[in-house]
Structure 1
């Protein structure tokens, strides 16, 4: 299926989830993430913040646990520049006041400390679906592909998905940035020879 077809299909799949199903899946994804985190040396994590009306993965569960249990790790969230099509990331903390942009995405104030792209060790990447080789379908704006292309090669790009992968995405192109891992409620999917920590396979 093409990206456009997959976007439509997985938007509908999200809408079909009950509030309870969505919450249970989000909690399972958060639990999986914290089985993964201790095995990695991490100083800075970048994360998307969820569009609640779209039933995106609730990354607040991860963010709040990072603040509570891993205080040395710095956490950053993006601000979208619609004129340039880019993302700038700012360090966030429990006292940060967020405002929603036109898409309903919570954003931190740009007066906070900006995090350079080269400092990120992990980026949590939003997606609608992904395939079995690590390609992802986002919302179509290309913001994350442009951002991820500027991060260090060893920065781990981790997708969070409410659903298992599709077999293939038909219209992948060279500007698409593949993810290294994808966390679903049931497992951690690994690509490029990385270790799947949930079952020991590659």
Structure 2
């Protein structure tokens, strides 16, 4: 039996991931807004009940891309800020493509800056000290592998913060699948929170 070409395997993994990404986006777009709102509320409740979130003093969230039916964490931001937690949001440097986290004084004032999602102002203070980073995803598996939109921003950024920060992926439960293809540069998350369950990722070794 001939050895399988590693390069061919890599190409197959990328193609499988692209197909899953397309299918996941299409599926999420079929869910009625009312159902997504209910599921988002359950996800927020599960997140707020996590010990790591309850103990956190500084958390990174993301502002939902509403037209893409992302998990809506906006009420969670209000709740966290109400109890004194500093809430940061991702920001992309247009010159370098590097993602950082900045703390806006008013998240409602964030704007779309060319990449499709609302970002803090470049003048808002950057933080390098986070306890929890909440990560969006199109699909995840129980081992913490995730499929995003393909730009790789979180894969490049999470290693700068985690550990000590904990990374928590949030998805609707139909986005949890048995196995996500792993490609070069992929970074796993520490936990998965859906509207139905919390999955603590077990690390090998």
**TM-score interval, smaller chain:** 0.7 to 0.9
Match of 1:196 in 2: none
Identify unmatched segments of 5+ residues in structure 2: 1-12
Q: How does 1:80-119 map to 2 (within 5 A)?
A: 80-94=92-106, 97-116=109-128, 119=129
Would you tell me which structure has more helix in proportion to its own residues? 2
Q: In structure 2, what is the Cα distance between the partners aligned to 1:91 and 1:167?
A: 35
Q: TM-score, normalised by structure 2?
A: 0.85
8 Å CA contact retained: 2:138, 2:148:
yes
1:41/1:14 CA distance change after superposition, 3 Å: same
Aligned match for 1:79, one of 68, 88, 91: 91
Identify unmatched segments of 5+ residues in structure 1: 194-202
Q: In structure 2, what is the Cα distance between the partners aligned to 1:140 and 1:83?
A: 19
Q: TM-score, normalised by structure 1?
A: 0.86
**What CA RMSD, in Å, does the superposition of the two structures yield over aligned residues?**
1.9
- Aligned-pair distance for 1:37? 4.0
8 Å CA contact retained: 2:139, 2:180:
no
Question: Is 1:168 paired with 2:179?
Answer: yes
Larger radius of gyration: 2
Q: In structure 2, what is the Cα distance between the partners aligned to 1:141 and 1:41?
A: 31
Match of 1:133 in 2: 143
Match of 1:56 in 2: 70
Match of 1:156 in 2: 166
Q: In structure 1, what is the Cα distance between the partners aligned to 2:201 and 2:40?
A: 22
8 Å CA contact retained: 1:135, 1:179:
yes
Aligned match for 1:184, one of 177, 185, 194: 194
Q: How many residues are treated as equivalent by the alignment? A: 188
- Aligned-pair distance for 1:102? 2.3
Q: In structure 2, what is the Cα distance between the partners aligned to 1:181 and 1:189?
A: 6
